[in-house]
Chains A and B, each alone.
Chain A
Amino acid sequence: GAGVSQSPRYKVAKRGQDVALRCDPISGHVSLFWYQQALGQGPEFLTYFQNEAQLDKSGLPSDRFFAERPEGSVSTLKIQRTQQEDSAVYLCASSLAGQGLSAQYFGPGTRLLVL
C-alpha cells in the first residue's frame, strides 16, 4: 500500500524566502509528526498532530516555523524568512495511534538547503 509521501524531495531557498513542505500520511492514520534532522544527527521532534489538532508544538525552534493539518490528513510545515541554520532534512511520520502505542511510518524527507 501507499506509504507516507513528502514533497518536494529537495528544496533550495535563498535566505529570507518562505518555504512550504508537504506531507501526505498513510490513509487513516490519526497521528502525524514532523521532525528535523541535521547532518549526522538523529531526527529531532518538531510537532505532533492528532487528527487536525496540533497537540504539541514544543519542538518548533522559532516562531518562523508553523505547521497545520486542517482536515486531519495532509499536513504542511511552513518556514518563514528562512535562515541558513534551517538547512536540514525535514521528516514527516504518521501512525495509527499516539503515545508510542503503534509504529511510526516515515516519509523519505524533504532536504532543505538555505543559501
Chain B
Amino acid sequence: DAKTTQPNSMESNEEEPVHLPCNHSTISGTDYIHWYRQLPSQGPEYVIHGLTSNVNNRMASLAIAEDRKSSTLILHRATLRDAAVYYCIEVTGNQFYFGTGTSLTVIP
C-alpha cells in the first residue's frame, strides 16, 4: 500500500506559484519526507527534504504540517522546465516509498 497520497495531475500557469500537496497520514516521528521530480527518460532528481520544520532551498520550499500528516511542496515561480512528475516520499529506515506522484503541467 502506498504510504503517501498525491493528486494524479495538476496544472499551473508559467511564472505563477505552484502548491503540490501530499498526505502521509501513517508517518512516524522519525520518518523524513523527501520530494523528487522526474522528467521522461531520466532518473528522479532530488528537490527537497525535511523532518519537522519548514525548509527552503534554491529550488523550492517545503511546508510540513504541525502534525506531520501532510506537506506541501511550493515552487515559487513555475517555469516550463518544472513540468515533471513530482513524488512525495515517506522514508522509513532506508526504504523510500515513491507512490505514483503528481504530473505537473506548466502552461505557457
Q: Does B associate with A? A: yes
Partner-B contacts on A (CB < 8 A): 4, 31, 33, 35, 41-45, 48, 50, 55-56, 58-59, 91, 93, 98-101, 103-109
Partner of A100, one of B45, B96, B98: B96
Docked-complex contact A100 and B100, CB < 8 angstroms: no
On whether A100 and B32 interact (CB within 8 A), knowing A42-B87, A44-B98, A56-B93, the answer reads yes
Complex CA distance for A33 and B36, rounded to whole angstroms: 15
Q: Name the interface size band of chain B.
A: 20 to 34
Partner of A108, one of B42, B85, B91, B100: B42
Docked-complex contact A104 and B98, CB < 8 angstroms: no
Partner of A99, one of B41, B87, B91: B91
Whether B31 sits at the interface, judged by CB under 8 Å, is: yes
Distance in angstroms from B34 CB to nearest chain A CB is 6
Complex CA distance for A50 and B36, rounded to whole angstroms: 22
Chain A neighbourhood of B42, CB < 8 A: 108-109
- Per-residue 0/1 for B72-100: is the Cβ within 8 Å of any A Cβ (1 yes, 0 no)? 00000000000001010001011111111
Chain B neighbourhood of A101, CB < 8 A: 32
Partner of B94, one of A4, A31, A35, A107: A31
Chain A neighbourhood of B31, CB < 8 A: 100
Chain A neighbourhood of B96, CB < 8 A: 33, 43, 45, 100, 104
Chain B neighbourhood of A55, CB < 8 A: 94
Docked-complex contact B43 and A48, CB < 8 angstroms: no
Distance in angstroms from A48 CB to nearest chain B CB is 4
Distance in angstroms from A91 CB to nearest chain B CB is 5
Distance in angstroms from A108 CB to nearest chain B CB is 5
Complex CA distance for A98 and B30, rounded to whole angstroms: 13
- Per-residue 0/1 for B5-48: is the Cβ within 8 Å of any A Cβ (1 yes, 0 no)? 00000000000000000000000000110101000011111100
Chosen A-B contacts, 10 in total, with CB atoms closer than 8 Å, are A42-B98, A42-B99, A45-B97, A91-B44, A99-B93, A100-B96, A104-B34, A104-B36, A104-B44, A106-B44
Complex CA distance for A60 and B21, rounded to whole angstroms: 30
